[in-house]
Amino acid sequence: MLVRAIEEADRIVVGRLVLELWGAHTAVAHGQVFFPASLPGFLVEQQDTVVGLLTYAAADNHLEIVTIDALRRGRGVGSSLVDAAVHRARQLGCNRVRLTTTNDNLDALRFYQRRGFRLASLRPDAVREARRLKPEIPSVGDYGIPITDELDLERWVAPR
Ligand SMILES: CC(C)(COP(=O)(O)OP(=O)(O)OC[C@H]1O[C@@H](n2cnc3c(N)ncnc32)[C@H](O)[C@@H]1OP(=O)(O)O)[C@@H](O)C(=O)NCCC(=O)NCCS
Query: How many angstroms separate the CA atoms of 18 and 25, rounded?
Result: 6
Name which of 97, 98, 94 is nearest 159 in CA terms: 94
Q: What is the reported pLDDT for 37?
A: 96
Q: For 3-42, write each residue's pLDDT tens digit.
A: 999 999 999 999 999 999 999 999 999 999 999 999 999 9
What pLDDT band is residue 158 in, cutting at 50, 70 and 90?
confident
Residues 6+ apart with CB under 8 A from 55: 6, 14, 18, 34, 36, 37, 39, 40, 41, 65, 66, 67
Q: For 77-111, write each residue's pLDDT tens digit.
A: 999 999 999 999 999 999 999 999 999 999 999 99
* CA 40 to the chain's CA centroid: 12
Does the CB atom of residue 115 touch ligand 1 within 6 A? no
pLDDT, mean over the chain? 97
Give percent of the chain with pLDDT exceeding 70: 99
What's this model's pTM, rounded to 2 decimal places? 0.95
Does the CB atom of residue 1 touch ligand 1 within 6 A? no
Give percent of the chain with pLDDT exceeding 90: 97
Query: How many angstroms separate the CA atoms of 134 and 148, rounded?
Result: 14
Distance in Å, CA 132 to ligand 1 centroid:
30
Does the CB atom of residue 29 touch ligand 1 within 6 A? no
Residues 6+ apart with CB under 8 A from 97: 62, 63, 64, 65, 82, 85, 86, 89, 117, 154, 155, 157
Higher pLDDT, residue 117 or 160:
117
Does the CB atom of residue 103 touch ligand 1 within 6 A? no
Cα three-residue angle 105-29-145, rounded to 5 degrees: 25
The CATH code of domain 2-156 reads 3.40.630.30
